[in-house]
Copies of this chain bind each other. A is one copy, B any other.
Amino acid sequence: MNWFTIDDESDDESLNREIQMWAPYTQAVRDLIDVSVRTTVDEDEIIAATAQIEEIVARLRKEQMTATLGVAHQPAGRRRPWGNPVIGVRNPMAPTLTTTSSEGRVESDFHCGAAFEGPPGLVHGGVVSMVLDQVLGHAVGTTGRPGMTGTLTIVYRQGTPLGDLRCEAWVERQEGVKTWAKGHIIGPNGVTAEAEGVFILPRRVREALAAAEAGGEPIRGLRIFE
């Protein structure tokens, strides 16, 4: 499974076609973000690029959703986290997590370049917490009882250097609507930050689970927003 998997219909040809269209687009905008904080070209070049980008935006805005992508995808009963700022195939801010998961455990490799810098040479502490929130939440989601973050505690052990990183997360226990998860980020010099979170099963999911149990219906899409 990788960062844009849609696990309830990954064999759907039209979805794969959409992903094939979006992946290079999103990578191009991601590269544009990266070069935004690295370029040293002249002012004239920046001004010219600004005008061109504005023109592209205007063209893409000609037809756009009034709702957000998350809301627009909801009525179909399946969740595609394509707009998600950490893992979305259509979100250029996402640091391209490549994820493998089993029940209760997730491992994600990702890359933080210049645009994720806080202190010089290091990943911004807030980006560290953002990735941990996502990956812990994903681990919770693999149990079939997804949760919204209730509390999240991050302990920063050392600076997280920019570059290739790994995030691991696992479920510690579940009790009622609560799931406890832990995780950490690993850099070239070992663990840089540790996280512990409590995730709460949302009411609408609780109701869907209860209805499914009563009716014997399979539930689609519950593992998607993770």
Contacts and interface: CB of A to CB of B under 8 A. Distances in A.
Contacts of A59: 41, 45, 49
Copies in the complex: 2
Interface of A: 21-22, 24-26, 28-29, 31-33, 35-41, 43, 45-47, 49-50, 52-54, 56-57, 59-65, 68-71, 73-74, 82-86, 88, 90-93, 114-121, 124-127, 129-134, 137, 148-156, 159, 162, 202, 225
Contact of A120 (B21, B45, B70): B70
20 contacts: A28-B53, A29-B36, A32-B32, A35-B61, A37-B69, A37-B83, A37-B91, A38-B69, A40-B63, A45-B59, A53-B53, A85-B115, A85-B116, A93-B115, A125-B148, A126-B130, A126-B131, A129-B152, A150-B156, A151-B155
A133 B126 contact: yes
A84 B31 contact: no
A43 B133 CA distance: 33
Contacts of A93: 33, 93, 115
A126 B125 contact: no
